[in-house]
Structure 1
């Protein structure tokens, strides 16, 4: 039984605050502890019987987290949740909400959390490390994707891709995306990449606006080590970002190493919808 539940709303969305009280009402019962982010202590509505604490502390104590938002909100919590093996249940108050499970009208479905009528959907993550002069200067993990892109709109990025130290391809363009199956329905899909079902656990590498007819996406086995170099014409900066987070400047001599992460994200499923049914509903 889920006894310690962390509720993580997107405070920038009025719709997330609007459903906070109904969500708490659905989850409230004897023996269940509700936790909310500390900064919500002064943000209406005030949940009197909830414990307010720092997110980094809550993810360690909780048995699960209920995320009120869209895919972006899920991604913001994903790394900390995966580090603590904390499963997430998403309630969509965003736009697409591909990773979320419920819509606001489906809150009664949460009763299944207490009857055991749910499953856990494990999702692979990617690890990225930037090597510079023989040392690691940046590391991160991503549930969706790792994007390497130009910082200036009017320059071209020269991209080189290798797998297990063997060159795969080179092209000029706006950058490149390395995506998990989860991320294959996000930016990678917009860039013309393949849709990969989550159980396949592959790594997709997708050019962004490549200036070559022959530049294609590649799908690698999860055990591959993918190495990427990227340099912008005219000395302009190239940046790397994991799951849309803060960018890190990549130099021309840097090597970006992307591998399967040791972390896994677990999503709570209550309705039993298949990946293909979710595709039809959301996209």
Structure 2
């Protein structure tokens, strides 16, 4: 039997700060893998192709945080190669294991003891003024269209399925996948969407409007954002915090569900809800329980009429 091929993706600072990467590579090699290490993935320009893993790659193992996983996603775009994330960052929502669990993670990879979690990807078309064809890109987390001039607003028109819904000035707009709903969109007040929901959400950033709420559309619908010709500022588009460019006035951004998917390797059956509680350290004990005085009879249930 020939060598199995794995790619380890990390950050140059992780590789130079200790022996962790060498230990992972050694264990993979001991288990029969040929290993390539990638520790610096330059972001391609918006609409440009990115580097890809070889066709015979079995798995990509990421040592880092969610940002490193987003970089690794570019390597497996349009392939069936799964990503396994080992969190060395802060929250690490996309990661499956923490750093102290690396030994078990590698053992289970060697034994094919994992399942595949399929995540939807957003397809992004950018139509520049007068263009016959769009610049096409994609996002695992989110597409942001923000003001180019930090001191002014960007004026946008919002359409859903080619029906105009609203127009207003704002600092920017976020269109997020369910995977990205716990990232930038969440930080500006967007809802958390479960990963198996085939939907896209749009969240305005500091909109100057009476109606500027989050919108969630289904798998067959499309968001269209037009930068108005009299907008105070041109725009700046960025996908997954990486692939970006300036966007002039009278440009159009169309976002829909992509036919592609990204595969995350999962080693446990922990539901998303449990991951949510753990990563965000949610207060599953209510405020009253946390602050209940230690008095005789304090544990007695209060009748409904006494609330």
Q: Same fold (TM over 0.5)?
A: yes
Deviations 1:98-145 (A, max 9, x none): 101111100122212233321110000011111132523422111000
Matched, 1:119 2:120: no
Deviations 1:163-193 (A, max 9, x none): 1211122222101000000000000000111
Where do 4+ consecutive residues of structure 1 move more than 4 Å? 14-17, 231-235
Instruction: Find the counterpart in structure 1 of residue 286 from structure 2.
Output: none
* In structure 1, distance between residues paired with 2:121 and 2:258: 5
- Partner of 1:128, secondary structure, is strand
* In structure 1, distance between residues paired with 2:181 and 2:228: 25
Match of residue 192, structure 1, among 175, 184, 189: 189
Matched length: 269
Matched, 1:106 2:101: yes
Q: What is the 5 A alignment of 1:145-184?
A: 145-184=142-181
* In structure 2, distance between residues paired with 1:224 and 1:252: 25
* In structure 2, distance between residues paired with 1:233 and 1:155: 12
* In structure 1, distance between residues paired with 2:147 and 2:229: 7
Deviation at 1:154, TM superposition (A): 1.6
Q: Which has the larger radius of gyration?
A: 2
Check the 8 A contact 2:153/2:233 in 1, yes or no.
no
* TM-score, normalising length: structure 2: 0.80
Instruction: Find the counterpart in structure 2 of residue 34 from structure 1.
Output: 35
Instruction: Find the counterpart in structure 2 of residue 131 from structure 1.
Output: 127
Matched, 1:72 2:73: no
5+ long unaligned stretches in structure 2: 42-49, 281-307
* In structure 2, distance between residues paired with 1:243 and 1:39: 16
Higher helix residue share = 1
Matched, 1:81 2:82: no
Change in CA separation of 1:242 and 1:261 when aligned onto 2, cut-off 3 Å: same
* In structure 2, distance between residues paired with 1:234 and 1:222: 30
